[in-house]
Structure 1
Amino acid sequence: MQDQSAEAKKAFGIRLRDLRRDAGLNGRQLAVLTGLHPTKISRIEHARQSPSEGDIRAWSIACGADRLIPELIAVYRDVRRMWEEYREDFRKKSQKAIQAAGTPLYEQTRLLRAYEAIVVPGILQTPGYLRGVLTANATLHGLPLDGVEEAVQARLERQHLVTGGTAHMYGFVMEAAVLTYAFGDLATMNEQFDFLSRVTRLPNVALGIIPPGFRKLWGGECFYMFDASLVRSELWTGRFQTTRAEDLAFFLKAFTALQEQAVYGAAARELIEGAREFLQSRETL
């Protein structure tokens, strides 16, 4: 995902370079017209430095391409949003603030599609399970553990969107192995299993679980698709996100293929109960 973000930055730099060349300007001539240093122009074109929106406006005007300013700035903003490092977020915000910041997006989303191969989808995590996940995350990133409880409560504030009616629709697909990754003790996992079983019966939710066995499509990185406008994918060190139409189409295609491999309803509940029995047997070893 970081590679994809880097490639997008390179493509944007090439587009600005082509704009300059189409205008018949060399780097020094563009520098005179825009007030930018020639070295900065070269660094922008080679994706070694990001331009400001003011730089893009000045660049477009100097190249006689004023009409492209709105489009170029929209593309630039999308490229900048593609990769966000967690350490940057953690440096500026508390864990509670980070969790709370995501709630408005969930409130605005009418159809959320999510694929998970590592943990239960975030909005479906019960308090104890979520506490285990956030504690592990805080430990990994060297964050204070005293912020975990507030972060748990902030995240749980959005769960009513799933259980509170049919204004919000959800399509979840998760790997069966996720059910055997225990965050917390057996009581915590039993609470999580009970909630997942309940969710399989909700009219606004399609909770699919991909059973072990032969595959038509391999498991990949986890991702969340908010309506048909934004995709986010969480990785170890940061978050990839995109609003580009071609990326949205790709993730929708992947989700559809994964969804077709999943089981639902009673079959999904059987997998949940199987995982419960598995963890119970492990606890008694």
Structure 2
Amino acid sequence: MARLRIEALRSVLGVLELIEPEEQAQQRSDLAAALKELRLASGLSGERLAVRTGMSQTKISRIETGRTLPSVFDVQAIVRALEVPKHEADELLTLARSANTEFHDVRSSRRRGLEHRQRELAKLEQDSHEIRFFLPTMLTGLLHTPEYARASMTNPQAAATAKRLERQGILYDREKRFTFLMTESAVRWPILGAEGMAVQTDHLASVANLTSVRMGVIPTKPVCPLPSLLSVFVVYDERLATAETYGGLVVMRDPRDVAIHLERFRLFEQHAFWGTEATDLLASIAAEFRARA
């Protein structure tokens, strides 16, 4: 049975890049079933596997029943404890990496309502201690003024706007750490009139003074020798990263994917203004907006 399951996984992995987001639940189910069958084939009890992997028996049970999605590290520990042959272990690890990557498409978010999306983000923020935002093109919701928040939504809804602004209260939690790293272009992107943009830029400078916040701005001058600034991404602690596309949001839990985004973040932050340099730049941008108004 375990051999048949591995063969089925091999066929799935052969077309992995073509799998639609809706099929991800099946990937997770296949992974859970394969791990359980491999344990049964080895003759190990759940208790013995728990001892060998350093996990609790409850966690092993939840993984095998599909109630808990195992991380790539969890799967690595299990296949090592079960002495799974390398080529089969590699296939399971590839599937685990795919299962730990989600895609939340824009169409589904709109069907559920933008307010639901704001609740999901609030939960992520509540569950994290240190959050790093990289903002190459536009400001994130935690930094919006009410006017900017409404203008940034394609179809603004009063409940969703209110929820976005309500989320900003977490910035005053001194137990948390927020790093906002943005480009000067993102600050200047004119989704409002000049006066509204001046108010928004003043708001950024005010948020930068909060105890929990560290804010950096990558200036457009002088020229910075940086690689392409592809998209907005956020890293929650060192356990999860999200990246935005036009079609939706990619959620990555694989430690390697998280590490890639952390590495890129640390590269970009070396080229930013911080502290008074950043707030001075913001003040000069706000003054330019007011001069135009």
What interval of TM-score do these two structures reach, taking the shorter chain for normalisation? 0.7 to 0.9
Deviations along 1:36-64, one digit per CA (max 9) or x if unpaired, are: xx999845653356435444455556664
Answer yes or no: is the 8 Å Cα contact 1:200–1:264 preserved in 2.
no
Deviation at 1:155, TM superposition (A): 0.8
- CA change 1:197–1:238 in 2 (3 A) is same
SS of match in other structure, 2:190:
coil
**What secondary structure sits across from 2:230 in the alignment?**
coil
Report the more deviating stretch, 68-77 or 44-53.
68-77
Aligned mates of 1:221, 1:191 — CA distance in 2:
25
Q: Which amino acid aligns with 1:149?
A: A
CA apart distance, 1:248 = 1.2
User: 1:269 and 1:58 mapped to 2: Cα distance?
Assistant: 54
- Residue 107 of structure 2: aligned partner: 87
Classify 1:60/1:215 alpha carbon distance in 2 versus 1 (closer, same or farther; 3 Å).
same
Q: Distance in 2 between matches of 1:158 and 1:53?
A: 31
Amino acid in the other structure paired with 2:15? H
CA deviations 1:234-280 (Å, max 9, x no partner) are 11111111111111111111111111111012211222123223334
Task: Kindly indicate whether residue 256 of structure 2 is the aligned counterpart of residue 236 of structure 1.
Answer: no
Q: 1:174 touches 1:209 (CA, 8 Å); kept in 2?
A: yes
Q: Please, which moves more after superposition, 240-249 or 195-204?
A: 195-204
The residue type equivalent to 2:106 in the other structure is: Y
CA contact (8 A) 2:234 2:241 kept: yes
Secondary structure at 1:115 match in 2: strand
- Which of 193, 208, 219 is matched with 1:200 structurally? 208
Is structure 2 residue 128 aligned with structure 1 residue 120?
no
Aligned equivalent of 2:126, options 70, 94, 107: 107
1:152-231 → structure 2 map (5 Å cutoff) = 152-162=161-171, 164-212=172-220, 213-218=222-227, 219-231=229-241
Judge conservation of contact 1:99–1:151 (CA < 8 Å) in 2. Answer: yes
* Structure 1 residues without counterparts, runs of 5 or longer: 1-19, 139-144
Q: Distance in 2 between matches of 1:60 and 1:214?
A: 51
Q: Is the 8 A contact 1:180 1:278 kept in 2?
A: no
Q: 3-state DSSP class of the match of 2:282?
A: helix
Q: CA deviation at 1:122?
A: 2.0
Residue aligned with 1:82, SS: strand
1:120-140 Cα offsets, whole Å, 9 max, x none, are 122111111111001xx33xx
Separation in 2 of the partners of 1:101 and 1:209? 27
User: Normalization by structure 1: what TM-score?
Assistant: 0.72
Evaluate the alpha carbon distance shift between residue 208 and residue 54 of structure 1 in structure 2; reply closer, same or farther with a 3 A threshold: closer
Identity %: 22
Measured in 1, the distance between the counterparts of 2:32 and 2:286 equals 59
State the SS of the aligned residue for 2:167: coil
User: Paired residues, what number?
Assistant: 240
1:258 aligned to 2:268? yes
TM-superposed deviation, 1:157 = 1.1
1:44-99 CA distances to partner (integer Å, 9 max, x unpaired)?
653356435444455556664787994996255762443221112222x1112221
Q: Classify the secondary structure of the residue corresponding to 1:118.
A: coil
| Cα 1:56–1:215 shift into 2, 3 Å | same
What TM-score, normalized by structure 2, do the two folds share?
0.70
Which residue number in structure 2 is paired with residue 141 of structure 1?
A: none
CA shift for structure 1 position 102: 1.5
Q: Deviation of residue 231 (structure 1)?
A: 0.4
Distance 1:208 1:53, change over 3 A: closer
Aligned AA (1:154): K
**What is the identity, as a one-letter code, of the residue corresponding to 1:173?**
L
Kindly report which structure 2 residues correspond to 1:6-25, keeping only aligned pairs within 5 A, or say none.
none
Secondary structure of 1:90's aligned partner: helix
Range moving further from structure 2, 220-229 or 76-85: 76-85
Report the 3-state secondary structure (helix = DSSP H, G, I; strand = E; otherwise coil) of the residue aligned with 2:174: coil
Partner of 2:148: 129
